[in-house]
Amino acid sequence: MKIVLCGMPGAGKSTVGRLLAANLRLRFEDTDARIEQDFGPIPRIFAERGEEGFRAIETETLRRLLEEDGFVLATGGGIVTREENRALLKGEKTVWLDASVETLCSRLEGDNTRPLLQGGLRERLLALQAARGSLYAEVGRRIATDGLSPQEVVRILQEEILG
């Protein structure tokens, strides 16, 4: 079994993914963590190679991970921006964790590790959400996470998506 979580930065992919993996006795994987393990800190990759260079690394990392089985995968928030990645995600059991900009702002306030969110968090999130919302909907079944604890999101995932 392989379950892929996608969504905006701060949507809870890593937190929910770890809990879901533990409940299902699967391993947890994270594309961003794997990229950092293999290539170094993401802010440095962005600084040295730009966003397009990072996205190329992200695609290759996703492809390699999806060749395996038996895990829950949290993807980076921008993974859906490449058509190639969307095609890969459509072939998997992919779930879109959706949250309002207000929720995302409260979760990400003070986080300065995300290159695309620097310089006006709310405005950046609004722009990213406008650009990516339909792309998330294209690849995954939506779960609205506003007002839900990570445990509640896991319960919904297990009951409604995994049945």
Tens of pLDDT, residues 21-45: 999 999 999 999 999 999 999 989 9
pLDDT in tens, 95-123: 999 999 999 888 767 556 555 555 677 78
Q: Enumerate the β-bridge partners of residue 142.
A: 96
- Sheet containing strand 2-6, edge to edge, reads 27-30, 71-74, 2-6, 93-98, 141-144
Q: Which segment of 1-10, 20-29, 63-72, 106-115 scores lowest on mean pLDDT?
A: 106-115
Residue 144 confidence (pLDDT) above 80? yes
In the chain, what are the domains? 2-153 (3.40.50.300)
State how far the Cα of 163 lies from the Cα of 155, in Å rounded to an integer.
Answer: 10
Mean pLDDT score across all residues of the chain: 91
CB atoms within 10 A of CB 86: 18
Is the distance from CB of 20 to CB of 12 less than 8 angstroms? no
H or E segment and range at residue 101: helix 101-108
Q: Both tokens of residue 33?
A: 């963590």
CB atoms within 10 A of CB 131: 12
